[in-house]
Amino acid sequence: MKVYLDFVVLLNFFFDFLLLYGTKRILKETISLKRLLLGSLVASSSILLLFFSLNSLTLFLFKVGISILIILVTFGKKNFLRNIGYFYLLSIILGGTLYLFDGSISYQNQGVLFVNHGLALNFFVMLIVTPIIIYTYIKENIQYKNVYSNMYEVEISIGRKTYKLKGMLDTGNQLKDPYKKRSVILVSSSISIQKSPFIYVPYKALNTNGVIPCFRPDRVVIENKEFSNCLIGLSKEEFMLHGADCILPNQFKEEL
C-alpha cells in the first residue's frame, strides 16, 4: 500500500481544524483564527507517531498528551475539562460517522483513505461530508441548549391536588394582571386544571387582543423554588413547544 504523507498531513490538519472550530462554536468561545490554526498544527503533528514502533498503552498515552496540548494551545487553561470534553465528544461523533461512510462506500479494502492505484472514493466523500457533519452537530447542539436550558419542572398545587408540568421560559411572555401586577403562567389547553373564581386578564398580541381567564394557585414550585406572586392563565390553545405544558413569564428569568 502506497501512502502519500503530504496528503495525510493536509487531511489531518483539515479535520483537526474543523473539530477545533466546531468546539469553539459550540462553547461560544472567543478564539482567534491564529490560535485555531496553531492548535490544528499541533494536532496534525500527531501523524509523526506513525514512524515510531509503540505499544498500545504508550500510543494511547501519547495521544492523550497531544490532545491536552491541543486544548491548551487553542483555548488556554480556563474551563479546560469542559473544552477537552466537548473536543472528544465531537471527535467521537465525527470519527464514528466517517467510519460508517468508509465501511459503506469504500470500493477498495486497502486502507482507510489511500490505495495502490490512486485515491479511494471515500476520500472525496469525507471531504464533503465532514463539514456537513460538523455544521449539523453545531446547529443541533446550539438549538438544544437554547431550548432545553429554558425548560423547568413546575408543580402547581390547588387544594389537595398537585399538577406536575413541564414549563418553558418565554422571554416574550410579559403578561401581568393590571390589578396587582402579578405575572401569569400560561397553561396549555391540553391540561385539565381549573379553580374559581376567575380573574380576567387582558392581553394584546400581534393583530389580536382579548382576555385570559386566570386564577390564583395555592402554591407554585419551579425547580424547588417557590413563587407566590403569580397567576395561572388558561390558554385556549394546545402548546407545540417541545413538549412544554405551560409557558413561564419572563419575570421569572432572574430567579431561576
Q: Which domain holds residue 210?
A: 151-252
Are 119 and 13 in the same domain?
yes
Are 165 and 117 in the same domain?
no
Are 48 and 97 in the same domain?
yes
Three-state secondary structure of 133-178: HHHHHHHHHHHHHHHHCCEEEEEEEECCEEEEEEEEECCCCCCECC
Q: Which of 148, 181, 212 is the last residue of a domain?
A: 148
The span from the CA of 113 to the CA of 185, in Å, is: 56
pLDDT digits (tens, 9 = 90+) for 189-217: 888 887 778 889 988 876 778 899 999 99
CA angle 247-202-151, nearest 5°?
Answer: 5
Question: What share of the chain has pLDDT > 70, as a percent?
Answer: 83
Number of domains comprising the chain: 2
Residue 4 has a pLDDT of: 59
Are 54 and 110 in the same domain?
yes
Q: Which of 126, 148, 170 is the last residue of a domain?
A: 148
Are 235 and 166 in the same domain?
yes
pLDDT digits (tens, 9 = 90+) for 90-134: 888 887 776 666 555 544 444 443 344 444 545 666 677 778 888
Residue 243 has a pLDDT of: 79
Are 108 and 199 in the same domain?
no
Are 61 and 90 in the same domain?
yes
Are 11 and 102 in the same domain?
yes
Residue 226 has a pLDDT of: 92
Task: Please check the confidence at residue 5 and state whether its pLDDT lies above 70.
Answer: no
Q: Which of 120, 148, 176 is the last residue of a domain?
A: 148
The span from the CA of 219 to the CA of 162, in Å, is: 9
Q: What is the mean pLDDT of the chain?
A: 80
The span from the CA of 164 to the CA of 159, in Å, is: 14
Q: Which of residues 136 and 54 earns the better pLDDT score? A: 136
Are 113 and 155 in the same domain?
no
Are 72 and 189 in the same domain?
no
Residue 108 has a pLDDT of: 46
Are 98 and 215 in the same domain?
no
Residues counted in the chain: 256
- We report the CATH number of the domain holding residue 206 as 2.40.70
Q: pTM, whole model, 2 decimals?
A: 0.55
Are 82 and 199 in the same domain?
no
Residue 98 φ then ψ, to 5°: -65, -35
Which of these, 66, 129, 67, lies nearest to 98 by C-alpha position? 129
